[in-house]
Amino acid sequence: MGRIVQLDHPLVCHHLAALRDRSTPPRQFREQVRRLSVLLCCEASTSLPLRHTQVETPLATAECRELEGRIGIVPVLRAGLGMCEAVQDMIPHAEVWHLGFYRDESTLEPVEYYRKFSDSPPATALILDPMLATGGSASEGISIIRDWGVQTISLLCIIAAPEGIARVTALHPDVDIFCCAVDSHLNEKAYIVPGLGDAGDRIFNTMRSTTTYLTIAVLFTAASATVQAHCQVPCGIYDDQMRIHMMEEHVTTIEKAMTQIEANENINQTVRWIMNKDEHADELTEIVTYYFMTQRIKPDMENYEENLKLLHEIMIYSMKAKQTTDLANVTKLNELIAQFEQLYLGEDADHDHEAMEDDDD
């Protein structure tokens, strides 16, 4: 029967407090993840097999022991990457193999998008993932690693939910789980409460915080005020055609990222392309929401509902483009943007410069 070990150490408590704090910035958040990962690694390695060895010190021969057998570290992308270097530092000869999952937002089940394993598995695997929520990702990861042929598997997570622990122990009773805290429960979106929020977003600084949105909103409000104050400004503030071209460019970048993710063998490059794809999909959504839906589409305009429907569909497909590398989503995005351009700009579509003045002028 696998062990469930919750670390009970003053340093764990101390670093966990800073990690949970919503005001902890990404750089400090990553440092806390690393510190906690070192402590987790120490605990998780207590039962690793040792063999006898002799070492020559400057004075004499010392009878020593060293780790025996191949050890694999398996960070689960993305958030597990934040723990990887710290564990590698503690076990420098360990091999690092990568697994990538994201949680489908509707089913909450894990979807695998990356796997880099060799033909010969190590004897032991330490799976790294800071969050054990529903346990879907961890259970799927353990099954894959077990099928690969690894004999001894441990799961290292920073915060676990009771639901996740129950699922993993039910499906994989022989796996040891090490965690820094077991929290209260999952909320309706399967986030751990009180938890720390989205670990991947906090490590990689990809959260769209309220502050960011507020800043954007304030900027747009300021821009509107400027337009009203200078109603003769002929163009450049509301340049619809330019925004549509920007949307098309984002889709082109997403397409390139998808192709690179599929083709790339280098994990670092792959992760960069995944993040790049996420950013461009977010920027595309931002044009749809903050420019068109908030600023340009008005209830009294012609084709109001049809315009909104197309914009909403663009948002849905840009989310799908974030979740997959399926080029069909790119094709659909291009079609939708072309339809929106035709509907919204009509005869003005595709002219080089068709800036529209504010309706309130």
Q: Is 103 a catalytic residue?
A: yes
Pick one of ligand PRP, ligand URA, none as the site partner of residue 251 (Cβ within 5 to 8 A by kind).
none
Cα dihedral 312→313→317→319 (10° resolution): 20
Torsion sign (Cα): 303, 348, 332, 78: negative
* Shortest reach from residue 133's CB to ligand URA, in Å: 4
Q: Is 20 a catalytic residue?
A: no
List of residues 6+ apart from 238 with CB closer than 8 A = 227, 295, 296, 355, 356, 357, 358
What mask of x and - would describe binding to ligand URA in positions 79 to 98, judged by CB under 6 A? x-------------------
Q: State yes or no: residue 191 binds ligand URA (CB under 6 A).
A: yes
Comparing CB distances to ligand PRP, the nearer of 209 and 226 is: 209
Options 173-181, 192-200, 241-249, 300-308: segment touching ligand URA (CB under 6 A): 192-200
Q: Which run of H or E residues covers position 89? A: helix 81-90
Q: State yes or no: residue 198 binds ligand URA (CB under 6 A).
A: yes
Q: Is 285 a catalytic residue?
A: no
Helices 240-263, 267-286: crossing angle, 10 deg rounding:
160
Alpha carbon distance 118, 126 (integer Å): 16
Out of 12, 86, 153, 199, point to the residue binding ligand PRP (CB under 6 A).
Answer: 199
**How far, CA to CA in Å, does 124 sit from each of 136, 176, 340?**
21, 12, 54
**Which residue among the candidates 24, 70, 152, 198 is catalytic per the annotation?**
198
Alpha carbon distance 199, 126 (integer Å): 19
Q: State yes or no: residue 156 binds ligand URA (CB under 6 A).
A: no
Q: State yes or no: residue 192 binds ligand URA (CB under 6 A).
A: yes
Out of 86, 133, 177, 247, point to the residue binding ligand URA (CB under 6 A).
Answer: 133
Residues marked active site are found at: 103, 107, 198, 201
Residues in contact with ligand URA by CB under 6 A are 79, 131, 133, 191-192, 195, 198-200
